[in-house]
């Protein structure tokens, strides 16, 4: 009797697979929001560091923009000129969205934060200015309550990981919107202000128990017992480390920007979902494929799709021009309402 083939334990999902579906939605939504005979939206990106990963991200962004009906304008500037360059773009009606590659001052987060606040709210495609971040942390979805027609912008990489989790069916569509991660335990290894902390907040606001891990220790983000709180709360887990969080986790998300860091495979529970969003491989590829049920080795192309999604949302949030068709107005109001 011939032996049956045993299916592979782990399914590897590539970012390109997830991004293609999102980009098709972006193109369709843009066409409806803008209407006929509209020009291509322009995304301006500022590069003021020498990070090779930022350069690669810029190259992918340019290619994706040009393939999907957007203009991409990369402006390389020195650090001292960056503020003036951003202000100029803020005041340029030909610019629809602004992107800045961080970190600019790796040892001075306050200077980076100042640049984030310099980008105009109406052009902040990354969702990093105070208004957008405040809304995200407080689980506020709209910029204009009670009308609720203008959606707040969410940070690109955290939202990309949320969209990846939706694609992987980690979100439970049977549950009410906003509660669809209830019962899931997730570890996020990174608590930066740009990626890790916003991601932990988004996941906890959607109902998950999230262990946020960095070199200072572990914090747990939750909406409390029975997810009764309207937004997440944060508690320190004194004495905890990866050895405590990983064995409890249904999903493990690595975002450590260091080549020599690897998530300890032996601590990961059998059948966990593992996602890497660092520019370095945080997981041991061959080993993790023997332990995880799903492995996503990178998220970059999904992040770029989210970037364009956010740009379309910024366009939809603008005041409606005179003569806007009923269909275009409806599309503006309903653009990506599932965030």
User: Under 8 Å CB-to-CB from 191, ≥6 apart: which residues?
Assistant: 197, 200, 212, 213, 214, 216, 219
Whether 156 is catalytic: yes
Whole-angstrom Cα Rg for the chain: 20
What 8-state DSSP symbol labels residue 72? E
SS3 220: strand
Set 10, 65, 129, 156: catalytic member: 156
Scored b (16 or more CB within 10 A) or e, 189-218 reads bbbbebbbbbbbbbbbbbbbbbbbbbeeeb
SS3 100: strand
C-alpha to C-alpha distance for 54 and 2, rounded to whole angstroms: 52
SS3 64: helix
Structure tokens at 275: 């996602």
Question: DSSP states of 159-192 as a string?
Answer: HHHHHHHHHTT-S-TTSPTT-TTTT-EEEEE---
Element (H, E) at 311: helix 300-317
Where on the phi/psi map is residue 271: left (φ > 0), alpha (ψ -120 to 50), or beta? left
CA-based nearest residue to 45, from 112, 123, 106, 105? 123
C-alpha to C-alpha distance for 316 and 337, rounded to whole angstroms: 11
SS3 293: coil
289 contacts 13 by C-beta, under 8 angstroms = no
What 8-state DSSP symbol labels residue 278? S
Give the residue numbers marked as catalytic: 156
């Amino acid at each position: 009797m011939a032996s049956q083939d045993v299916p592979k334990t782990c399914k590897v999902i590539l970012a390109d697979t997830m991004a293609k579906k999102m980009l098709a939605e972006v193109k369709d939504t843009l066409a409806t929001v803008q209407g006929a005979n509209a020009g291509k939206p322009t995304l301006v990106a500022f590069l003021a560091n020498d990070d090779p990963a930022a350069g690669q991200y810029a190259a992918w962004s340019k290619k994706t923009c040009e393939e999907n009906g957007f203009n991409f304008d990369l402006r390389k500037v020195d650090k001292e000129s960056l503020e003036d360059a951003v202000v100029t773009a803020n005041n340029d009606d030909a610019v629809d969205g602004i992107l800045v590659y961080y970190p600019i001052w790796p040892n001075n987060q306050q200077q980076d934060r100042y640049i984030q606040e310099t980008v105009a709210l109406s052009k902040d495609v990354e969702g990093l200015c105070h208004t957008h971040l405040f809304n995200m942390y407080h689980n506020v979805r709209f910029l204009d309550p009670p009308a609720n027609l203008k959606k707040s912008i969410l940070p690109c990489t955290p939202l990309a990981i949320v969209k990846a989790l939706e694609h992987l069916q980690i979100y439970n569509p049977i549950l009410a919107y906003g509660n669809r991660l209830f019962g899931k335990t997730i570890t996020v290894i990174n608590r930066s202000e740009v990626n890790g902390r916003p991601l932990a907040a988004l996941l906890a606001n959607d109902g998950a128990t999230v262990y946020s891990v960095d070199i200072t220790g572990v914090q747990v983000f939750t909406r409390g017992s029975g997810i009764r709180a309207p937004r997440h709360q944060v508690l320190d887990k004194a004495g905890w480390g990866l050895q405590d969080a990983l064995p409890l986790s249904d999903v493990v998300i690595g975002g450590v920007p260091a080549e020599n860091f690897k998530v300890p495979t032996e601590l990961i529970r059998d059948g966990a979902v593992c996602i890497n969003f660092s520019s370095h491989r945080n997981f041991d590829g061959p080993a993790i494929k023997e332990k995880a049920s799903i492995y996503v080795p990178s998220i970059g192309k999904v992040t770029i799709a989210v970037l364009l999604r956010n740009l379309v949302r910024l366009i939809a949030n603008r005041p409606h021009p005179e003569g806007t068709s009923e269909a275009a107005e409806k599309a503006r109001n309903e653009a990506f309402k599932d965030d």
